[in-house]
Amino acid sequence: MNTDDEYSPSGDQDSSPRRRLPIPPRPIRPNSRPLPKIPRALACKQCRTCITSSSALLPSSAIPPQSRTFRGYSGKASLFMETYNVRLSHPGVQLMATGAHTMQEITCSTCSQYLGWKILRAHEHSEKWKEGNSLLELAHLEHDPNTFVTYDRRHDSTSSDSDSSS
C-alpha cells in the first residue's frame, strides 16, 4: 500500500489526487515602526503630548499688519493651522476685542489641560481670515524636539467632543 493514498471509511481507495486547502492569510500586524518626529514640535506643558508644530504656525503673510499680536487668558498666543491630540468643546459665541466669534475651547486629549480656542466663524467681515485656525496660548505649550507624533483619530481637531450630550 502506498503511503500517499488516503484512507476512506468504505475501504475504497480514492484515486483522485489529495486536495490541499489554501494557506490562510497571515494576520496583519500593526505598523511597529516608530513614527517620524515632528519638526519643531510644541507639546502640552503638563503631559508633554504633541499638540502642534512651529511649521503649522499661520504665516505672517496671511495675518493683516494690524493683527500681529494675539492674547489669551494667560498671555501671549499664536494662530496655528493644525493641531493634534486635542479635544474640542461645543461651539459657542464669544465677544472678543475684535468682535464676535464662534469658537470651541481646545483641551489636551491626554490630560485635559486648557490650551486655547478653535475659531469656527468670525462674525466681523474684517476678521474672516481667522476662520478655521486655532489660537493656542503659548504659556501652556513647550518646545519639545524629542516628541514623536502620537496621532489619535478619536481626538482629531476636526471632531467635537459631543459624546457626553448625545
**What pLDDT score was predicted for residue 156?**
46
Give the pLDDT score at 118: 96
The answer to whether position 100 is within a domain reads yes
pLDDT at position 60, please?
83
Number of domains in the chain: 1
Which residue range forms the structural domain that includes residue 57?
42-64+78-155
Residue 136 included in any domain: yes
29 occurs within a structural domain: no
Q: Tell me which residue of 99, 144, 105, 106 sits closest to 124, measured CA to CA.
A: 99
Contact 119, 130 (CB under 8 A): yes
**Residue 123 belongs to some domain of the structure:** yes
- What is the CATH number for 57? 2.170.150.20
pLDDT score, position 13 = 58
- Tens of pLDDT along the chain (166 residues) come to 455 555 555 555 556 677 777 777 766 655 555 555 556 788 999 998 889 988 888 888 888 887 768 888 888 888 999 998 999 999 999 988 888 999 999 999 999 999 999 999 999 999 999 999 999 999 999 986 665 444 444 444 444 444 434 3
**Would the pTM of this model clear 0.85, i.e. be above it?**
no
Is 22 a member of any domain? no
pLDDT for 64 equals: 84
| 90 part of a folded domain | yes
Grid cell in block for residue 82 = 493644525
The answer to whether position 117 is within a domain reads yes
The three cell numbers locating residue 155: 481626538
- Give the whole-angstrom CA distance, residue 143 versus residue 36: 17
Please indicate, yes or no, if residue 37 is contained in any of the structural domains.
no
